[in-house]
A = this chain, B = another copy of it.
Amino acid sequence: MNNKMTEKITPRDTDFAQWYTDVVKAARLCDYTDVKGCMIYLPLGQAIWENIQNNMDRMFKKTGVQNVYLPMLIPESLLQKEKDHIAGFAPEVAWVTMGGNEELEERMCIRPTSETLFCNYWQKEVKSYRDLPKIYNQWCSVLRWEKTTRPYLRSREFLWQEGHTIHSTSKEAMERTLQMLDLYTNFCKDYLAIPMVTGQKTPSEKFAGAENTYTMEAMMHDGKALQSGTTHYFGQGFAQAFNIKFLNKENKLETVYETSWGTSTRLIGALIMVHGDDNGLVLPPKIAPTQVVIVPIASHKDGVMENATKIYEDLKAKGIRVKLDDSDKTPGFKFNESEVQGIPLRIEVGPRDLENGEVTLAIRFTHEKENVKLENICEEVNTKLEVIQKGMLEKATEFVNSHIYEAKTKDEMIELASTKEGFIKADWCGSEECEDKIKEITGGAGSRCIPFDDKLLTGKCICCGKDAKHNVIWGKSY
């Protein structure tokens, strides 16, 4: 791979952070702008996000989700209504203080998230049990005034979806909270080929204003966790602060129960760091904007362009997202470009192979090349795309399974944290003090989640030795 484009990528095992930045840049996913902390999402990055959006949105709608769109501005008085919420978000919002040439009477922030606006709307809108549930979602951008930023992982403005629902019973709200975590997890498994570790957040890691927060955590290739989606059960906290009441079937006033849930362009960061390699991006076929690229070799030779075009038309007719690269770049350049951009399959159409009635199929994920008979190409491509999708999930799952460790003593935990990359399971007493201490002695392994099975290992807190309340998954994180 002696090519300008791939030369720019630092080997993954040399410097993972630099490798990540290099891949983002070389694959032209997104780029920095003169607006500090904000990115431009370039065509490939945006196309991946659109594929995530379209597929997730279809899954949402099957569960009764309706899309809406609320204002991007939130008056300060609204943001302040729920005390934990404002405490959590006030330090990181951007404030609009002027409209045109006039100073505003009340300043407004650009939404960091929209719980307060949804609640404000529902308070006026909801009257009776017949108005419930409301299962709303919006696709939008939000802004949080972060100090240090990294493409897709942490930026001031980012694209996301935020779901907000209200229900007449606690049970229904809790079911929705867990249903959406399940939906997220299935989406990531089926489309992104990323297995998720799921569970409940400890109190200190909860969303500002939530009773319970549930999370899915993906393990990056360097063993660190990336929080990839969260769902929140609010109980009646916001609803009381905003006075969202309804008449129940017995004609009595009750307060609603609420949830919210979100995923963002962070998922693209996960895609890169789970599947990428030294040559760049590796995209799962189901989410790849281009699934197959066709590269003609010696395109002036008899039959090359004819066959390349025919394959292109045939694959396109079968609904495969295919691109024919007939630009005037060299085949070598095109090969490398398709590798960097993570296109799952490349079909090389050259005169020598054609003499045998064949073309070459290059598989991005395994780096293998195969000769395929012209007449079998459509079938072969279809099969390969399925095999790749499955193979990527299997590989990622094996990686996660082989990088989750168990610690029964403090020393074991310190040892594991300093010698192994991955997650560590260890029991915990439930105190924030021990949680902080564990993060300190492990050099940064914070609590990722309490897994749903929550099976104690020793029954004693790994830190203080007192009776343990939960088994926790610990890990360093992005």
What are some 24 contacts across the A-B interface (CB < 8 A)?
A31-B121, A33-B121, A34-B78, A35-B71, A35-B75, A38-B72, A39-B71, A40-B69, A40-B117, A41-B68, A43-B66, A43-B136, A46-B66, A46-B68, A47-B67, A72-B72, A72-B143, A92-B100, A94-B98, A94-B99, A95-B96, A96-B110, A99-B145, A100-B145
Known: A97-B95, A98-B95, A100-B91. A73 touches B35 (CB 8 A): yes
Chain B nearest CB, measured from A28 CB (Å): 10
Binary contact readout A128-145 vs B (1 if CB under 8 angstroms, 0 otherwise):
000000001000110101
Looking across the interface, which residue of chain B has its beta carbon closest to that of A121? B40
> A42 contacts the other chain (Cβ, under 8 Å)?
yes
Binary contact readout A4-46 vs B (1 if CB under 8 angstroms, 0 otherwise):
0000000000000000000000000001011100111111001
> A172 contacts the other chain (Cβ, under 8 Å)?
no
A72:B157 contact, CB within 8 angstroms: yes
B67:A50 contact, CB within 8 angstroms: yes
Q: How far is the CA of A70 from the CA of B94 in the complex (A)?
A: 17
Q: How far is the CA of A66 from the CA of B43 in the complex (A)?
A: 6
B91:A101 contact, CB within 8 angstroms: yes
> A426 contacts the other chain (Cβ, under 8 Å)?
no
Contacts of A309 in B (CB 8 A): none
A110:B108 contact, CB within 8 angstroms: no
Contacts of A91 in B (CB 8 A): 100-101
> A120 contacts the other chain (Cβ, under 8 Å)?
yes
* A71 touches which of B49, B69, B136, B157 (Cβ 8 Å): B157
Tell me the residues in window 157-203 of chain A with beta carbons closer than 8 Å to chain B beta carbons. Answer: 157, 159
Looking across the interface, which residue of chain B has its beta carbon closest to that of A96? B94
Given A33-B117, A42-B68, 5 other A-B residues pairs in contact with their CB atoms under 8 A: A38-B73, A40-B69, A72-B72, A73-B143, A90-B100
Tell me the residues in window 80-109 of chain A with beta carbons closer than 8 Å to chain B beta carbons. Answer: 90-101, 107-108
> A74 contacts the other chain (Cβ, under 8 Å)?
yes
* A33 touches which of B41, B120, B140 (Cβ 8 Å): B120
